[in-house]
Amino acid sequence: MAPWLLATYLIVPPLFKASLQQISPVDVTVLLAIPTAAVGGLWLLLNLRRLGRRRLIVLWLWLGCAALVGAGVLWAPDAALAARSAAYFIILATIPLLAAFPVAAEEGRVRQFLLTFVVAGLIFVVIATIALFAGELGGRDLIGTNRIGVARALVFVPLVGIPLLAWHRFGPREWIFVAVSALAIVLAIATTSRAPVLFFVAVGAALTVGALALSRHRGRVLVRVGAVALCTVVAFVALSGVLPERSGVRFVGLLEAAEDALDEGPLGSPEPSGGEGPGGEDPEDPADRPSSIVQRAGLYRLAMSLFIEHPLLGVGTSGFEVEAMTEPGLEGHDYPHNVVLQVASEFGLVGLAMFGALGILALLWWRPTSTASVALGGLAAFLLLNAMLSNGLYENRMLWGVWMVLLARPPRDVGAAVGRGHGSDPTER
């Protein structure tokens, strides 16, 4: 039960909460957090002495990060706001995500955990396909979910599913899944939310290079990459007549907007005009350029300046939100849309050291020893890259949950079969 329960807790609140909350007497996040925390806490109590040194280090580092967020209330500029954020992080992120330890205990549980992400993505493929032909996919929201969340859910299908389900010998089911993966990529583009698609390209490219370097089956890897690419082009051409016009325009304007952001002198930036994220665009104007990139440049500069002014401990929990209230053009933004800059600005070098240690350990311990480990590593990298342009520190449970599963894998799974080709994976048919 733990793999599905943890994955459901990570997926359902950010993707379905707005639509489910209307029929639930209890907050969906709290409703899912209670059993998730119970499963993780009970398992740790029964297995604490058998965790081993590596996983104990991860556990204490994670609890230490929560303690730092709680202590940040003491030097925060707004104690009441900071206390709410700290409570949110500790009660709804730290404690429930202890369920990552029982999930990571066995390879089969990790596969079940990852399959939940694929299933969620497939659900959104169906929803997004209907919305595409209804002319509603490029709108601000879809069933209560921001379009960046929809795009993120869609790319779970190729990013997780292809390594997990179509790594080895190809049969009809695998080819069907490749076609659905290509459709998911096209639908993600059609949401007009560029960031998840670009991140998918970056992570997919990195995984392909890594797979080619480590696998004895380079030809198979190239076939899969080529198949997905070809099917994506075919799907894009076939559906081009119903794709929102802004799908292509946002990609065309991306480099120009990035150049404007580099040239932007003052901390402030153009006033937001609606649409997605900070400085979102007018959805009725397909030629509108992605000024959200420009707005993010102002958020980044503010976070950097706060870190430089308070390098050791930062400005405290939710301190960035308080400081942004006084900056022209940045009001209403409670995080800088870059999780590293948020940690640096609110918790300084101490926070960077603690959260950074978790990241370094993940890099040192991860090995592509199986289809599940490849898919888990790709998902973690995707969510981390996504956090460089979206999501904050306290509510990003999906990132922290996947990260913890990656870190909590037993040492025998992490170190086993290093250098082994994927052909010896026990799941190969």
Domain ranges of the chain: 2-50+95-249+366-424
Residue type at position 16 = F
pLDDT at 251: 56
Checking if the pLDDT of 266 tops 80, the result is no
Between 277 and 144, residue with greater pLDDT:
144
Q: How far, in Å, CA of 286 to CA of 301, rounded?
A: 29
- Average predicted confidence (pLDDT) for the chain: 82
Q: How far, in Å, CA of 158 to CA of 167, rounded?
A: 12
Q: How far, in Å, CA of 256 to CA of 235, rounded?
A: 27
Between 429 and 181, residue with greater pLDDT:
181
pLDDT at 313: 95
207 contacts 379 by C-beta, under 8 angstroms:
no
- Chain-centroid distance, C-alpha 44: 26
pLDDT at 423: 42
Confidence of residue 265 (pLDDT cuts 50, 70, 90): very low
The predicted model gives 369-374 an average pLDDT of 85
Q: What is the pLDDT of residues 16-41, one digit of tens each?
A: 887 787 777 888 899 999 999 999 99
pLDDT at 271: 40
Tokens of 53: 């040194």
| Angle of CA points 403, 408, 414, to nearest 5° | 100
E strands present in 80-234? 141-142, 145-146
pLDDT at 167: 63
Q: How far, in Å, CA of 155 to CA of 379, rounded?
A: 10
> 48-57, 199-208, 299-308, 339-348 — which is least confidently predicted?
199-208
Q: Tell me the pTM.
A: 0.85
Longest CA pairwise span in the chain (Å): 60
288 contacts 281 by C-beta, under 8 angstroms:
yes
Q: How far, in Å, CA of 245 to CA of 180, rounded?
A: 23
Q: What is the pLDDT of residues 97-132, one digit of tens each?
A: 999 999 999 999 999 999 999 999 999 999 999 998
Q: What is the pLDDT of residues 224-259, one digit of tens each?
A: 778 888 898 898 888 888 888 776 666 555 555 555
Q: How far, in Å, CA of 189 to CA of 128, rounded?
A: 11
Confidence of residue 270 (pLDDT cuts 50, 70, 90): very low
Confidence of residue 273 (pLDDT cuts 50, 70, 90): very low
Phi, psi dihedral angles at 141 (to 5 degrees) = -130, 155
Confidence of residue 367 (pLDDT cuts 50, 70, 90): confident
Tokens of 151: 């795009």
Q: What is the pLDDT of residues 392-408, one digit of tens each?
A: 899 899 999 999 999 99
Which phi-psi region, left, alpha or beta, contains residue 391 (left: φ > 0; alpha: ψ -120 to 50)?
left
Checking if the pLDDT of 285 tops 50, the result is no
360-363 long-range contacts, CB within 8 A, separation 24+: 361/57, 361/58, 361/61, 361/407, 362/403, 362/406, 362/407
Give, as one character, the DSSP assignment of residue 138.
T
Tokens of 4: 């599905």
pLDDT at 363: 87
347-353 long-range contacts, CB within 8 A, separation 24+: 347/68, 347/69, 347/72, 347/313, 347/314, 347/316, 348/307, 348/310, 348/311, 348/312, 348/313, 348/314, 349/311, 349/312, 350/68, 350/312, 350/313, 350/314, 351/65, 351/68, 351/313, 351/314
The predicted model gives 151-170 an average pLDDT of 84
Q: What is the pLDDT of residues 46-64, one digit of tens each?
A: 998 888 899 999 999 999 9
Residue type at position 120 = A
Q: Which residue has the tokens 């950097």?
A: 304
N-to-C CA span, the chain: 26
Count of other CB atoms within 10 angstroms of residue 271: 10
Between 16 and 94, residue with greater pLDDT:
94
Q: Coil, strand, or helix at residue 284?
A: coil
358 contacts 62 by C-beta, under 8 angstroms:
yes
Checking if the pLDDT of 186 tops 80, the result is yes
pLDDT at 252: 57
| Angle of CA points 78, 79, 83, to nearest 5° | 120
